[in-house]
Amino acid sequence: MQNWDEQAVGAYYTNRSLPTTTVESYYFLKKEVHDILPVTNPQFQPDRHVNTLGARVVQTIGARTDWVSEYSCQWGAQHGDSSILAWGGYSYMSSILSTGPPLPQSWLWALSGDNPRTRNRIENWDPLFSQWPEWSDMYVYTPVEGKSESPIGRTSRCRKSKAV
């Protein structure tokens, strides 16, 4: 779905040494270059590089209940003298029933969005290696308003929460 060439390198570390806590941490450097769209296309993305640093924690809080939380931050630069500074994260609790799949009880999910007042800073979250696989790759086309100035797949002030 991307219109540009991508290169990435990263490291992922999982620590399971604690009895009830698993910590996963990661860092990725990704380059997105040579967009095939014309520069005049509103979806055109100049060459950029993005650093992503994050961690995911799974804490067992009961015999069948886990609390899961992940937070990441991004920074980098985009050709044209723009900096990139974004964040994303989620948190939820889940319980495993004696039979059947895990049942989510509540969750909060948020991604940073661009602030139009900071013209030389891009605050949209970059999904790096996927384009909304949780719902569908086609989902990214639904919020396009025709006046979007950022590439498809970028987010803007996403917040979702749910309690069951």
Binding flag, residue 83, Ca ion (CB under 5 A): no
| In the complex, least distance from residue 74 CB atom to Ca ion, rounded to whole angstroms | 13
Indicate whether 114 belongs to the interface with Ca ion (CB under 5 A).
Answer: yes
Residue 45 beta carbon to Ca ion: minimum distance, rounded to whole angstroms:
15
- Name the DSSP class of 146: S
CB nearer to Ca ion: give 69 or 115.
Answer: 115
Cα atoms found within 13 Å of the Cα of residue 22, Cβ hemisphere only? 10
Q: How many residues bind Ca ion (CB under 5 A)?
A: 4
Tell the residue number behind the tokens 């290696």, with chain if given: 129
Q: 120-139 mask for Ca ion (x: CB under 5 A)? A: -x------------------
C-alpha distances out from residue 38 to 1, 3, 42, 141, Å: 16, 11, 9, 19
Which CB sits closer to Ca ion, 49 or 121?
A: 121
The residue assigned the tokens 């990441």 is: 72
Tokens describing residue 89 = 């994260």
CB of 15 to Ca ion, least distance (A): 35
The distance from CA 94 to its chain's CA centroid, rounded to whole angstroms, is 21
Q: Is 140 helix (H, G, I), strand (E, B) or coil?
A: helix
Exactly one of 115, 127, 132, 156 binds Ca ion (CB under 5 A); which one? 115
Is 118 a binding residue for Ca ion by CB under 5 A? The answer is yes
Applying CB under 5 A, which residues contact Ca ion?
Answer: 114-115, 118, 121
